[in-house]
Structure 1
Amino acid sequence: MNLMKHKIQSDFRMIRLSRQGLVLLLIAGAFPTLILVYLTFTSDDGYAGEATFQRLELKFASKLRELSMDNRALRKQVSLARTELAAFEMNVDEASPKSFNNCANTQQEVPKCEVIHIAIVCSGHKSTRDVVTLIKSVLFYRKNPLHFHFLSDTTAQVILNYLFETWRVPDVKISFYHADKVKEDIEWIHNKHYSGIYGLLKLVLPKTLPTSLEKVIVLDTDVSFATDIAELWKMFSFLNGLKVLGLVENQSDWYLGKIWKNHIPWPALGRGFNTGVILMNLRVLREMNWMEMWKKIAVKELETMQYTQLADQDIFNAVLKEHPYFVYHLPCQWNVQLSDNSKSDKCYNQLEEPKIIHWNSPKKFKVENKHVDYFRNLHLAFVEYDGNLLRRELFGCEKSEDANPTASQEEVSEDECFEFRREQSLVHRTHLFYLDYKYQPEEYDVTLVTQLSIDRLQMLELLSNRWEGPISLALYLSDAEAQQFLKYAQDSEILTKRTNIGYHIVYKDGQFYPVNYLRNVALNQSQTSHMFLSDIDFLPMPGLYNHLKSVVSRIDMEKENKALVIPAFETQRYRLEFPTTKADLLTKLDKEEIFTFRYDVWPQGHLPTNYTKWRTAKAMYTVKWERDYEPYIVVKKGIPLFDQRFVGFGWNKVSHAILLDLLGYKFVVLPDAFIIHMPHAPSLEITKFRNNALYRNCLKTLKGEYQRDLSRKYGLKALKYLSVD
């Protein structure tokens, strides 16, 4: 290393002391590799022969003319080069751990309110799941405000924007930059990496990010932090002069060409560098015309390599091969690489414990590493960590708006139903489209809208088998339960075949099941013209999806508001031979294998449907709203949302039916459609209702408040609902 350092010192002094060298340095501002050509023709005492120099001047005269319009930038390059010379003359040997520790001791602490900027390329549904784990690990240790910059596609932007909007983490900002706007800069590169075109987008960050942003930490989505990110941010102090990129050396033999026989990698400096973690000096990169620089080198290398194997990493390394003075070697614990071919154990055995772990293998968490259990557990700790606990505020910085304001002790003590009221103001952290969703709605299409908790998960496959159309599903889960669901869905042969089910994770918070909040999440994410509002424990009759599409295409639900009622039945038999037709259902009804829904405990909920008339009906018929009516209905998109004050058990659907009736919706019963409620253990919420007098009293109080709110808003026409107890 010392020999290399002295050689660089000698070469730079040689350029500095010669008139010819200064001219060549100007040329090297745009063509740095030509320095090597010049050094080849220099004599032993450091000066070029006059004839040699004249040949070089003629050869490069045309290049100088091309640069005449950019003299200002070239002067800047000379200034930066002089700074680099000064650094070398100070005998800074950054490859030495001892030298690094000495430098680290002189680093200034990051001011507690300084914003740390982080750039991440994120596209598709899976990537949004991965990035949440990364963000959790950053938030867990951080003490500074953060600003995340996402270069993403539309899918990831919608998901992440809603996630952060509902997460409401103080002192965190987000910005999005659409990948389509810069695809033309990289789509010409043939890339065989599994990340596709998005694996090349880090190359365009200096162009994409705001010009006011001078430096940024760039991260892959498959890394996890084990320390405060401010410690990495401090290391920008080592990026000076021409050092514009901070990178960790590659921990596999990939760029040495030793992975397999006849393996020919892209050119790299030594072992090359991994681009999962990058310190990027954006200001200097822009000044040196980074975009033009990497493109020229990529074009040259693609003539022989044909395509990139490791996406942006190949091109970054090709650039550093030609410009080795651009890179600052980050200590390897800042990117402990866990690919199958990695030798990362030498890193974290010799130095401090890992700061960042990087699952840089297509197999991800199934890599072969003797310490993989330790790293997997570290990663899973953040996967399953309750993200609500990360809503802590940073004291001493600008006051952030409280996401869920707390009431005073006086308010709590004066209102016995305070916990119920508090629930309706909660904003639940929500991850939309948790799994892949690909569906193009038809002109008259119907989405089944429903919600569930982990104890009803077994109903999902049954429902999926009987409803082939799109489903919008809100799942109320903890972070750990979300991982159970993910494994369940990925292991299910039935569910893996479906890409028209939108799974929306609403994370647990509060004491009650927020049933109407969940319904509203699922309802808002429906993408079809019509929606079937159901519950997860009801199975539709065979062919109901196509039947409903046919119905909504034939009747006018635009000029006149209609709620199409699907008659509901129930069975107590876990092994029911499910009826395939209305006639079959009526037979089982007569045999008492099936009953009208809640006929014995809550008959008023569905009596207005008029099951007697339905038995012989051949055509649709209209029924009037009656007290406590709560039918399962098909409606057009754009209906009013459910009232979120009703949580847990009781009046959650009744309140919505009242609102629809108040707004003039007609309840129209379909004569050839039905759903059947399947038996299951009682929910926790209904147990609370049955056993807790306070629960029942508070529900009654909320009902009265809801009725009075309707009366104040809608006046006289809402008076009839005031009589409801």
Structure 2
Amino acid sequence: MYFLLLTLELKERSTTGNNFLFQMFRPRKKLLIALLVVGAFPVCCMIYMLFNEDNVYSSYNENRVINPVEVKLIERVQEVEDQNIALKKQLSQNQNQLLRLQMTLAATNDSSASAKFKCVNAEPDVPKCEVIHVAIVCAGHNATRDVVTLIKSILFYRRNPLHFHFLSDPLTETILRKLFQTWSVAEVEVSFYPAESVKPDISWIPNRHYSGVFGLMKLTLPKTLPEHMNKVIVLDTDVTFATDIAELWKIFRVLRGKQAIGLVENQSDWYLGKLWKNHRPWPALGRGFNTGVILLDLKMLREIGWMQMWRLIAEKELMSMLAVSLADQDIFNTVIKQHDYLVYKLPCQWNVQLSMNTQSEQCYSEASDLKIIHWNSPMKLKVKNKHVEFFRNMYLTFLEYDGNLLRRELFGCSNGTSNQTQDVVLSDHTEDDDCYDFRSERELVHRTHLYYLDYADTGSGGPDDVTLVLQLSMDRLQMLEMICKHWEGPIAVALYMSDAEAQQFLRYAMGSETIMSRKNIGYHIVYREGQFYPVNYLRNVAMSQVRTPYMFLSDIDFLPMYGLYEYLKKAIPMMDMRTQKKALVVPAFETQRYRLQFPKSKTELLSMLDMGTLFTFRYHVWPKGHAPTNFAKWRTATTPYTVAWEQDFEPYVVVRQDIPTYDQRFLGFGWNKVSHIMELDAQGYEFVILPNAFIIHMPHAPSFDIAKFRSSSLYRKCLKILKGEFQRDLSKKYGIKALKYLSVE
């Protein structure tokens, strides 16, 4: 048992930094287990017999001679015990010797690098409130998804305040601003620098790398970042941290003289020029360096005239090389080749490169050696490496990790400027309120990732263009492809998902030719939090990203008639919606059949109504919701007609983009659309029924919120209370013309 405890102690030490000795004894693991099995059983038996009051010895004479086998057993136990004591002493001996052993494993063959690494470990920890600055070039939808995984891995381990500096294009800035604003992580600040402002400095450089002009922007950081910033960690979006970023920040302290750039040696043979015949790389020092992880002493680089230095060297080299192949990395390496005093060689664990033809396996022997994993291959997770499954699992862990769990506060470091953790402030509500859960969740700000997939705002729809606005959860995902086939115009859709579900959606979308062929659909991920489905919150997120003058407010389980997009673009100017407050109502129908021959015209739809294949929407459970549409009149109507608002009216409407947002107090099921239509009526909107337009509701399993509404009397009670409060608020907001809503039960 003692041997087992010792083994566990060794394992614990390995996870807290003293891992080398445990690794050193690991080859003897089988021997230890064998000794444990062979030796522990007799020992246990002996102890049992010695101390049990009813043991078999009670029937023998106390002066019995001990069996020679037992003597050997006792001697063997003592021998094992002596070995354990010696081993434990060895573990508790010279801590400096352990440090030297760790240095030998972590550093490269360069003895000077080992000495420097020893200095780094000897340095005191970074003060807990010192801000760590991180610069990232991020552009494009794929990059925003990658950077979220990178940020998660940093936040998971970090103990210091962070300040992220992004060089980005306008769309990427919009995405990341919204993400960090809604993420609301304590002690994290974000700054943005427009890529357009730095393009003149690097756009003249021909680049064969897939990163394009953005792959050269790291060269401009000493000029782009604020003058008061003296140092920064520069990261590619495709790296994943496996340790606290403060450990990397600490290495700045050992830079000496004019050392201004910290880099890990390149782990491929690229700069050796041996990959293929006639391969001619840019000049580099030895194997060269990889720029996926960089320490930049900005102050020193400004003092030596960095911008002019690299530009002159690049201009000269381009005369023979014609273009860079590895973007900024080629230029960094050529500068270091001529000015080797600039570089500080980082231990290779700080950039374990998983590109093709690398020797990254030489950087580590155990997982605890890893610091940063760099997926620097165009193949990314498909790259070949004997430990790639381990690396992939580590990456996927952060990819699907719930980002809400990373909002933990750094106690004692609040400076009044960074984001605060998202604690719901409910000064007007108490937990004694039966409807506390409803009131509290309306205050939630959900983490939001806009434009999760590629999106292109062509702006070619003209002054009467209209966007379809939708929201959905994972269980309605299968409707997306069908809607894409029925609506060719722009779509804004908010998807309520967990981090793991967002990855499932990504895989689903990437495998769908229909979805991937459309670039006019904005997919906005709203990350799941709380117990109710925030239906109106989702609608507001989608509405906020509409880029057209008009929008059609619908639901994911409705299929528009074929050609509805073009029909609406013609109806909008005819109704003079630009100057008049009008809401164009698209009549809603439903089917109970999962397989439906969708009607191609109003004539076919009327025929299916007569045959009982179709019905007016919710005629059997909620007729009040659409009764004002006057379906009897619609059957024969050839021109638009106006209807008056009635209690519980909730049609699907086409409106201007500047309408009021949905009221977010209504969660889950009930009154979410009714309240919005009521406010449109309060603002004086006229409801006009379109005679040749329709949508059809497709059958599906009831949502979880409907089930809660039907089964919970408290749910129904709170909905009624919220409804009354909304009506009173509406009367206060719109005055005498809204008094009629107070009489509505």
**Contact between 2:399 and 2:500, CA under 8 Å: does it hold in 1?**
yes
Mapped partners of 1:407, 1:129: distance in 2 = 30
The equivalent of 1:266 in structure 2 is: 282
2:148 pairs with 1:132: yes
The equivalent of 1:286 in structure 2 is: 302
Indicate which of 279, 301, 320 corresponds to 2:317. Answer: 301
Q: Which stretches of structure 1, 4 residues or longer, exceed 3 Å deviation after superposition? A: 93-98, 399-404, 406-413
Letter in 1 for 2:446: H
2:686 pairs with 1:670: no
**Contact between 2:682 and 2:737, CA under 8 Å: does it hold in 1?**
yes
The equivalent of 1:428 in structure 2 is: 446
The equivalent of 1:474 in structure 2 is: 494
SS of residue paired to 1:426:
coil
The equivalent of 1:211 in structure 2 is: 227
Mapped partners of 1:98, 1:206: distance in 2 = 29
SS of residue paired to 1:182:
helix
**Contact between 1:216 and 1:279, CA under 8 Å: does it hold in 2?**
yes
The equivalent of 1:494 in structure 2 is: 514
**Contact between 2:502 and 2:525, CA under 8 Å: does it hold in 1?**
yes
**What's the offset of the Cα at 1:627?**
0.1
Mapped partners of 2:233, 2:670: distance in 1 = 50
Q: Alignment length, in residue pairs?
A: 634
- Give the direction of change, closer, same or farther, for the CA distance of 1:411–1:642 in structure 2 (3 Å limit): closer
The equivalent of 2:553 in structure 1 is: 533
**Contact between 1:95 and 1:329, CA under 8 Å: does it hold in 2?**
no
Q: Deviations over 1:688-714 (max 9, x none)?
A: 000111111110110011011111222
Indicate which of 735, 738, 743 corresponds to 1:715. Answer: 735
The equivalent of 2:435 in structure 1 is: 417
**Contact between 2:560 and 2:694, CA under 8 Å: does it hold in 1?**
yes
Mapped partners of 1:230, 1:634: distance in 2 = 53
SS of residue paired to 1:439:
coil
**What's the offset of the Cα at 1:238?**
1.7
**Contact between 1:251 and 1:337, CA under 8 Å: does it hold in 2?**
yes
Mapped partners of 1:104, 1:430: distance in 2 = 39
Letter in 1 for 2:685: Y
2:679 pairs with 1:679: no
Q: Deviations over 1:30-77 (max 9, x none)?
A: xxxxxxxxxxxxxxxxxxxxxxxxxxxxxxxxxxxxxxxxxxxxxxxx
Mapped partners of 1:284, 1:439: distance in 2 = 42
2:339 pairs with 1:317: no
Mapped partners of 2:399, 2:285: distance in 1 = 35
Letter in 2 for 1:158: T
Mapped partners of 1:386, 1:293: distance in 2 = 44
* Percent of matched pairs sharing the same residue: 65
The equivalent of 2:456 in structure 1 is: 438
**Contact between 1:333 and 1:351, CA under 8 Å: does it hold in 2?**
no
2:439 pairs with 1:405: no
The equivalent of 1:452 in structure 2 is: 472
- Give the direction of change, closer, same or farther, for the CA distance of 1:353–1:649 in structure 2 (3 Å limit): same
Q: Deviations over 1:374-431 (max 9, x none)?
A: 0000001000000011111100111666443346899543201001001111000000
**Contact between 2:409 and 2:421, CA under 8 Å: does it hold in 1?**
no
1:84-99 alignment, distance < 5 Å: 95-96=111-112, 98-99=114-115
2:564 pairs with 1:548: no
The equivalent of 1:255 in structure 2 is: 271
Mapped partners of 2:654, 2:428: distance in 1 = 45
The equivalent of 2:255 in structure 1 is: 239
Indicate which of 517, 534, 538 corresponds to 1:514. Answer: 534
- Give the direction of change, closer, same or farther, for the CA distance of 1:718–1:409 in structure 2 (3 Å limit): closer
SS of residue paired to 2:136:
strand
Mapped partners of 1:519, 1:572: distance in 2 = 26
**Contact between 1:571 and 1:676, CA under 8 Å: does it hold in 2?**
yes
2:404 pairs with 1:388: yes
The equivalent of 2:357 in structure 1 is: 341
Indicate which of 568, 571, 579 corresponds to 1:559. Answer: 579
Letter in 2 for 1:346: Q
Mapped partners of 2:339, 2:426: distance in 1 = 62
SS of residue paired to 1:414:
coil
With normalisation by structure 1, the TM-score equals 0.86
Mapped partners of 1:173, 1:409: distance in 2 = 27
Letter in 2 for 1:507: Y
SS of residue paired to 2:722:
helix
The equivalent of 1:59 in structure 2 is: none
**Contact between 1:572 and 1:679, CA under 8 Å: does it hold in 2?**
yes
**Contact between 1:474 and 1:506, CA under 8 Å: does it hold in 2?**
yes
Letter in 1 for 2:296: M
SS of residue paired to 1:650:
coil
The equivalent of 1:58 in structure 2 is: none
Task: Single out whichever of 241-250 and 102-111 deviates more from structure 2.
Answer: 102-111
Calculate the aligned-residue CA RMSD, in Å: 1.6
Mapped partners of 2:364, 2:573: distance in 1 = 64
The equivalent of 1:52 in structure 2 is: none
Letter in 2 for 1:125: H
Indicate which of 144, 158, 165 corresponds to 1:142. Answer: 158
Mapped partners of 1:275, 1:413: distance in 2 = 53
**Contact between 1:625 and 1:667, CA under 8 Å: does it hold in 2?**
yes
Indicate which of 186, 201, 221 corresponds to 1:185. Answer: 201
Mapped partners of 1:466, 1:421: distance in 2 = 38
SS of residue paired to 1:413:
coil
Indicate which of 636, 639, 647 corresponds to 1:627. Answer: 647
Indicate which of 161, 182, 187 corresponds to 2:177. Answer: 161
- Give the direction of change, closer, same or farther, for the CA distance of 1:515–1:163 in structure 2 (3 Å limit): same
**What's the offset of the Cα at 1:108?**
2.2
Mapped partners of 2:224, 2:444: distance in 1 = 36
- Give the direction of change, closer, same or farther, for the CA distance of 1:98–1:467 in structure 2 (3 Å limit): same
2:591 pairs with 1:576: no
Structure 1, unaligned stretches of length 5 or more?
1-92
Mapped partners of 2:121, 2:466: distance in 1 = 64
**What's the offset of the Cα at 1:722?**
1.0
Indicate which of 233, 238, 243 corresponds to 1:227. Answer: 243
Q: Deviations over 1:194-251 (max 9, x none)?
A: 0000000000000000010000000000000000000000000122211000000000
SS of residue paired to 1:349:
coil
SS of residue paired to 2:137:
strand
Letter in 1 for 2:564: L
The equivalent of 2:83 in structure 1 is: none
With normalisation by structure 2, the TM-score equals 0.84
- Give the direction of change, closer, same or farther, for the CA distance of 1:626–1:142 in structure 2 (3 Å limit): same
**What's the offset of the Cα at 1:606?**
0.1
1:34-73 alignment, distance < 5 Å: none
Mapped partners of 2:471, 2:366: distance in 1 = 51
The equivalent of 1:690 in structure 2 is: 710
Mapped partners of 1:124, 1:232: distance in 2 = 27
SS of residue paired to 1:644:
coil
SS of residue paired to 2:271:
helix
2:677 pairs with 1:661: no
Mapped partners of 2:730, 2:154: distance in 1 = 46
SS of residue paired to 2:612:
coil
**Contact between 2:232 and 2:297, CA under 8 Å: does it hold in 1?**
yes
- Give the direction of change, closer, same or farther, for the CA distance of 1:350–1:472 in structure 2 (3 Å limit): closer
Mapped partners of 1:248, 1:351: distance in 2 = 18
SS of residue paired to 1:162:
helix
Letter in 1 for 2:365: N
- Give the direction of change, closer, same or farther, for the CA distance of 1:498–1:706 in structure 2 (3 Å limit): same
**Contact between 2:467 and 2:551, CA under 8 Å: does it hold in 1?**
yes
SS of residue paired to 1:450:
strand
Indicate which of 110, 114, 137 corresponds to 1:121. Answer: 137
